[in-house]
Structure 1
């Protein structure tokens, strides 16, 4: 999980939900995106497994300004935020659970 957008900062006001205490998994989705449903399931499972991690899903079509600012080109796109809301990892497409856990491990291990 890597790519453009790393280093930017997002907050609860922009996402419409509180950030996780330790990290946040932000998923950009669209209504007719089949991989988005599977991604929602995977990220939700990981967030429930790891204390202090939140999963926030953003409707890309409803949040075009944010999508453009972050350079989101397709859905699903997943951003991993640290506790301060900085984008530290980014991936497009349906992630594997193991990859999400590994990316979180890097973020949580750096604190």
Structure 2
């Protein structure tokens, strides 16, 4: 999952936390993969498969999908510009990684290393 120079989270994301109430579902015990998707997005379907697979492989990790069109408030607040966009949250809901586009499974697993 690439996030830009040095693989760091964008400055606007640093320290931001997302709560279960904002996402409409409980966070993972160790980490949460939050996917912002839209209805006619082909890469979103492939991303859903990858993130679900990884969440199934790593204990305590949960995959949540957010319909970007239905949650424009959250999309705007987080500066989501395209789908799919994936946020990796730690156990406390802090954003530790962010990537736009379809991620590779190996990159998602590596990004989880920062969250757990």
Same fold (TM over 0.5): yes
Which runs of structure 2 are paired with 1:31-50 in the superposition (5 Å)?
A: 31-50=39-58
Q: Name structure 1 gaps, 5 residues minimum.
A: none
- Alpha-carbon distance in 1 for matches of 2:114, 2:72: 29
Output the aligned Cα RMSD.
0.9
- Alpha-carbon distance in 1 for matches of 2:26, 2:16: 17
- Choose from 64, 88, 100 the match for 1:56: 64
Listed one character per residue, the Cα deviations across residues 12-56 of structure 1 (whole Å, up to 9, x for unaligned) are 100000000000000000000000000000000000000000000
8 Å CA contact 2:82–2:100 kept in 1: the answer is yes
Listed one character per residue, the Cα deviations across residues 39-92 of structure 1 (whole Å, up to 9, x for unaligned) are 000000000000000000000000000000000000000000000000010000
Q: Name structure 2 gaps, 5 residues minimum.
A: 4-8
Which runs of structure 2 are paired with 1:2-81 in the superposition (5 Å)?
A: 2=3, 3-4=9-10, 5-81=13-89
Paired positions, count: 108
- Alpha-carbon distance in 1 for matches of 2:39, 2:14: 25
- Alpha-carbon distance in 2 for matches of 1:53, 1:74: 24
